[in-house]
Chains A and B, each alone.
Chain A
Amino acid sequence: MNPTQRPHEHTHSHEHDHEHAPQAVEDGQSDVDGQQLVDALQAVLIKKGILSAGEVTLEIQNLESPGTHLGAKLVARAWLDPEFRSKLLRNGKDAAAELKIKVGEAQLVVVENTATVHNLIVCTLCSCYPRSILGQPPSWYVSKAYRARAVREPAAVLAEFGLDVAADVQISVHDSNADMRFLVLPQRPANTDGLSEESLTKLVTRDCMIGVSKALDIPMNFTR
């Protein structure tokens, strides 16, 4: 193991739980050392009766069960309900709780896109992400290229995602480097007046809640 190349290989859970970038995404091959370490640790913990294999499986299931529909619901409700929008921007975790959505992270900071500000989320140090409401991050979010470039040349990165941000629109990049987790509240697409919350959620993609795209426009053949 080369400690200079793999500073974050330890797999213990800190109390506030920074997620660490999977090495598979970093170097294009599976992290055999890390996997052996985890397997050995798990075997010891099970042997000592500290946890069971079933508990490990259940925990993996819990980690993987949240999906983007939870974040989308927060966004759609905020578009429809100005009072909820204010609450969401003030305290994302408490607002989510009102919709029975549990934010597992310490705090959820919701940042709002406007005609003059476009927000973008990145974790330069590892892969911090609002997993309890968006699920697991896409592989590009964890890649070193995205993590390095999103803070250095965000306009160029967004252009590669197909989003041109005019020079008079301020890009606000949020490095999710510590205890906060961030969610972008995208702008509501045009011509969506009268749409139900359920219909609106279909326009809210994972990517627009990270800030690399806008919410979807309603398709031409959309029936209200």
Chain B
Amino acid sequence: MTLKNANQTQLRFKARDPVLVLDMDKAGHVRTPFYVRRKIGEVIDFRGYFLNPEELSIGNTAGPAVALYRVRFMMKDLWPNYNLDRTDVLCIEVYDHWLAPIANDEARP
């Protein structure tokens, strides 16, 4: 279910912002797979506000809704020994609280 931004909070990220995926020690119905954690990617777009699945799965359906972004990674940044002849990318959805901002010069050393 797409929700309105109940809190009118400012979006933290915009398209092309470099972001770091956090490696939080959370149990349960977590939708951030391990293979993107601690990896740096780039925001594709903001997709709306959604109820947090980590809360929904334990019956907390009252919200608040959280911002959901799509983030793009270079495959060679995700996997060791990825074929360097290829420029393949991985796109995935990440909820706001799993993302940290990073400076542009940190993203592309």
Contact = CB atoms under 8 A, between A and B. Distances in A.
Interface of A: 14-16, 18, 106-107, 109, 124-125, 151-152, 154-155, 167, 170-180
A14 B91 contact: no
B102 interface: no
Given A125-B31, A177-B31, A14 B57 contact: yes
B47 A179 contact: yes
Contacts of A172: 88-91
Q: What is the interface of chain B mostly: helix, strand, loop, or mixed?
A: mixed
Of the listed residues A106, A125, A178, the one surrounded by the most CB atoms of chain B closer than 10 A to its CB is: A178
B92 A177 contact: yes
B62 to A, nearest CB: 11
11 contacts: A14-B56, A16-B50, A18-B31, A124-B33, A124-B35, A167-B85, A170-B88, A174-B91, A178-B31, A179-B50, A179-B68
B26 to A, nearest CB: 13
Nearest to A150: B90
Interface in B63-109: 68, 70, 75, 78-79, 83, 85-95
Given A125-B33, A151-B35, A178 B86 contact: no
B4 to A, nearest CB: 14
A112 to B, nearest CB: 13
Nearest to A172: B89
A23 to B, nearest CB: 17
Given A167-B86, A170-B87, A16 B53 contact: yes
Contacts of A16: 1, 50-51, 53, 56
A15 B61 contact: yes
B2 interface: yes
A15 B1 contact: yes
B85 A106 contact: no
B33 A177 contact: yes
A152 B94 CA distance: 19
Given A179-B47, A180-B70, A155 B53 contact: no
Given A18-B31, A151-B78, A175-B91, 5 more contacts: A15-B56, A16-B51, A167-B85, A172-B88, A173-B89
A144 B48 CA distance: 29
A170 B2 CA distance: 31
Nearest to A151: B90
B92 to A, nearest CB: 4
Interface in B23-49: 29, 31-33, 35, 47-48
Given A155-B86, A173-B88, A18 B53 contact: yes
A152 B34 CA distance: 13
Interface string B7-34: 0000000000000000000000101110
A15 B50 CA distance: 10
A178 B89 contact: no
A170 B70 CA distance: 18
Nearest to B95: A178
B32 to A, nearest CB: 8
A180 B45 CA distance: 12
